[in-house]
Structure 1
Amino acid sequence: MELLDIRIIDIVDIVLVALLLYYIYKLVKGTVAINIFIGIVIIYGVWKLTELLEMELFSKILGGFLGVGMFALIVVFQQEIRRFLLMLGSTNFSARKKFIKQFRLLSKENEVSTNVAAIVKACKKMGESKTGVLIVIEKNNSLDFVKNTGDKMNVEVNLPILESIFYKNSPLHDGAIIIEENFITATRVILPVSNDLKIPSRFGLRHRAAISITEKTDAISLVVSEENGQISYLKDGDFVHFENLEELHNLIENDLS
């Protein structure tokens, strides 16, 4: 085949592969899995190079390693695969639109519509009064499968609303709230609780629920402890305690964008 003998379907094929690799990168970016992903890409590149150079023995070894390694990758990337399938199977149209936006390679970062300042300020005030808080902010993966366990709501995010929901005598206090864009879409949501034995025993059900939902989806979560008022930020099943609220604000905005 001549160099310029390229069909339109070949171009479509290349673009689809590029989009797939880009999205996989976006999916694992910022997680431990990114190092594994880069390693796989390097091994694959070396394998193709050895095939081109007709290094048969080395090529067969690398090819066999990649073939067997596919089963191991399913285990290593099980959380990312779960998120990807949840996104594809979502019945939430707004989540699908956000999924499509991920493929706009040349676009600038999405503007954050969520009132992050109000959320952080509410966590600060409720931390001072040692009021328990569990906030889950939806990103690309639909949270319909947990929203159905709570009470539906459609209220714009602001400080007074957040304080009234988590007020200790409020009937909406128990459980988590779900935030989509800049709206609270569910309250009193019952989240699945992680049974991971590696989680320190000092963390209660709020932290375990936040860990579980951020492991299963790409959502981010904020927890305020009833015991000491400490604010925790959770993403990909990992949590960080924050005292510097400006840093917390910037981190949330960066993750949502």
Structure 2
Amino acid sequence: MLDSLFSVPSAVIVDYLKMILEILILTVVIYKTLHYLRGARGASVLAGITILLLVLTWLSKQLRLDVLNWLLTGIWGTVGAAVVIIFQPELRRAFAQLGSFSFFKGKRQREVLTEIVNAAANMARRKCGALMVIERRIGLQNLVDDSVKLDIKVNAMILESIFYPNSPLHDGAVIIRDDRIVAARAILPLTRAENISIRLGTRHRASLGISEETDAVTVVVSEETGAISVACRGVLYRDLSPEELANYLEKLVILEQDDADLAETVQMLEEQADRREAPENRGGRSS
């Protein structure tokens, strides 16, 4: 058996390896394409067109409708051009991101999170209410479509201007995708939880609502107390300092820890805070 195995020509092995490599490349490309277009408005249009063409093609073959079959054959040849037209904005953004995507992604994310933390800290000092939604893997395009669309690089001063009292855009939430503010005055679904504290206002309920339906991370600044909170996967963590907020966002956005890891993150942050406070407490007791 070993003799027959080693007698296989090397060209055949190379062909098998090429076939496996091609399958892997096609799998990755198809998956990444579908993942990227999951929240796009044109995705439902393309799905509808594809289903209609498949049904008509099947009927034409079953009923032997030669003219219709000939027409559909020509239409299938134009699907590629239709995809380019339907997804023109998404493709343009994808190629722009591909050109700028690199090993600096983590650095860009940290810069974005720094701007968000600075804005939250400044608004907390002034007790200026705010609600910021950071998109992760699940797209929020349906909310963007129903909001005031923007395309602004994330900046602390811009965020503070949006949520400034009596500003036309201060109601609702802003949606942040990558390093851009893509929407303002977004109306989020409210939480369906019944055991929520009555002290929590609409912003906190909306932050919990969107975090229950998607994997988005929301940052809330209370208008009454100036307290900073973070919500993810239906869990709300309140009264955070800017340093704690930065740690949460790094874990959830950069390291992409999910709700299963969030409890561990909270415990780790609390232990770090206890260790920082321990020397001060010991010093106070000794004096």
- TM interval, short-chain normalised: 0.5 to 0.7
**Number of the residue aligned with 1:135:** 132
* Aligned equivalent of 1:236: 233
Local SS of the residue matching 1:163: helix
* 1:111 match: secondary structure: helix
Alignment of 1:180-219 (within 5 A): 180-219=177-216
Match of 1:144 among 125, 141, 145: 141
Post-superposition CA distance 1:44-94 (Å, at most 9, x none): xxxxxxxxxxxxxxxxxxxxxxxxxxxxxxxxxxxxxxxxx9987432758
Q: Give me the whole-angstrom Cα distance separating, in 1, the residues matched to 2:37 and 2:177.
A: 18
Q: Secondary structure at the match of 2:108?
A: coil
Q: Residue 91 of structure 1: which of 26, 29, 40 is its match?
A: 40
Partner-residue secondary structure (3-state), 1:197: coil
CA distance in 1, matches of 2:158, 2:125: 17
- The alpha-carbon distance between structure 1 residues 88 and 243, as it changes in their structure 2 partners (threshold 3 A), is same
Secondary structure at the aligned position of 1:251 is classed as: helix
**Which of the residues 90, 97, 106 maps onto 1:111?**
106
Measure how far apart 1:126 and its partner are: 0.9
Higher relative contact order (CA 8 A, sep 6+): 1
The aligned residue for residue 259 of structure 2 is none
With the length of structure 1 as denominator, give the TM-score of the two structures. Answer: 0.59
Give the corresponding residue for 2:150: 153
Aligned to 1:179: 176
Deviation, 1:251, is: 2.1
Q: What SS does the aligned partner of 1:201 have?
A: coil
* Identity value in percent: 41
The corresponding residue for 1:78 is: none
Q: Secondary structure at the match of 1:240?
A: strand
Gaps of 5+ in 1: 24-84, 98-106
| Contact kept? 1:112, 1:256, Cα under 8 Å | no
Return the alpha-carbon distance in structure 1 between the equivalents of residues 187 and 142 of structure 2: 10
Give 2:162's aligned amino acid.
I
Aligned length: 183
Residue 170 (structure 1) aligns with: 167
Alpha-carbon distance in structure 1 between the residues aligned to 2:251 and 2:103: 13
Separation in 2 of the partners of 1:137 and 1:206? 15
Q: Is the 2:154–2:180 Cα contact (8 Å) retained in structure 1?
A: yes
What is the Cα deviation at residue 112 of structure 1? 5.1
Q: Does structure 2 conserve the Cα–Cα contact (< 8 Å) formed by 1:87 and 1:141?
A: no
CA contact 1:127–1:225 (8 Å) conserved in 2: yes
Counterparts of 2:238 and 2:104 in 1: how far apart (Å)?
26
Distance 1:226 1:86, change over 3 A: farther
SS in 1 for 2:120: helix
Which structure features the higher share of helix residues? 2
Query: Aligned partners of 2:207, 2:135: CA distance in 1, in Å?
Result: 12
* Higher alpha-carbon Rg: 2
Once the two structures are TM-superposed, the CA of residue 122 in structure 1 deviates from its matched residue by: 1.1
Distance in 1, Cα, partners of 2:223 & 2:145:
26
Task: Call closer, same or farther: CA 1:154–1:108 in 2, change over 3 Å.
Answer: closer
Change in Cα spacing, 1:112 to 1:211, as seen in structure 2 (3 Å) is farther
* 1:46 equivalent in structure 2: none
Q: Which amino acid aligns with 1:111?
A: G
- Equivalent pair of 1:206/1:223 in contact (CA under 8 Å): yes
Backbone CA RMSD of aligned residues: 3.5
Offset, 1:253: 2.1
For each residue in 1:91-132, what CA deviation from the matched residue of structure 2 results, as whole angstroms up to 9, or x when unmatched?
2758x97xxxxxxxxx99951524111211111111111111
Partner-residue secondary structure (3-state), 1:213: helix
Preserved contact between residue 232 and residue 241 of structure 1 (Cα < 8 Å): yes
Matching of residue 222 in structure 1 with residue 219 in structure 2 = yes
**For the residues of structure 2 that align with 1:191 and 1:158, how far apart are their CA atoms?**
22
